[in-house]
Amino acid sequence: MSEKGARVGRVERDLPALTVLALLTQGPRHPYDIHRFVVETRKDFVAGVPRSIYHAVQKLHAAHLIEEVGSEQEGGRPERTVFALTEAGRSELRRRVTLLLSVPQPDRTVTIAGLSFLAVLSRDEALLALRARIAALAADIAVKSADIATTGHLPPLLVVEAEYERDQLQAEHAWMDALRTRLEEGDLPWLSDPPPVIP
């Protein structure tokens, strides 16, 4: 699903919106319920809670990615609007998660969010995204290693940050490759459709 040269833009990095879309795969919810779930499950990559959740709901509704399906009222509390995912929203969610998983990013919170919502993809889609990421990481490692190789004339202390960056890439590559293997070999069973979001 990922395209060569694909980039993760501001829309894809909108983690509150991504979270709202993903949580609505479980069924209709009101924004306060989404906020409560984010707090209780410590989805720390969602910043600016609760305002960011309510703002995301407004943007997604305006873009027709979610729709109003009713309202709820408990006790003396104000009435709360309940939202559901549209088909366009479901497609957009899959596109965003695929991109977050396919394209390595310096901001690790983006990667954590993509992994958090891995189950919104089919097993085959997830494997395609992981393979694309693994290939991109291998290319980044090769570039970084080649750069380090050209610094042999410098004191080693001056290139430790480059070695650190390369080693971080290698660690991520190994972890993602192990995840891919677990999925391919059935050691990590896939969830049913529609998949629940795992905290």
Digit-coded pLDDT (tens) for 67-81: 999 988 777 778 899
In sequence order, the 6+-apart residues with CB closer than 8 A to the CB of 2 are: 98, 99, 102, 103, 128, 129, 132
Kindly report, residue by residue over 42-56, the tens digit of the pLDDT. Answer: 888 888 888 999 999
d(CA 190, CA 142): 32
Name the phi and psi angles at 195, rounded to 5.
-75, 140
Kindly report, residue by residue over 31-40, the tens digit of the pLDDT. Answer: 999 999 999 9
Decide if 180 contacts 130 (C-beta within 8 A): yes
DSSP-based three-state secondary structure for 172: helix
| pTM beyond 0.95 | no
Q: Tokens for 156, please give them.
A: 């080693």
Mean pLDDT of the 117-137 span: 96
Domain boundaries, the chain: 15-184
Q: If you classify domain 15-184 with CATH, what class do you get?
A: mainly alpha
Q: For position 179, what pLDDT does the model report?
A: 98
Average pLDDT value for the chain: 90
Model confidence band, residue 84 (pLDDT cutoffs 50, 70, 90): very high
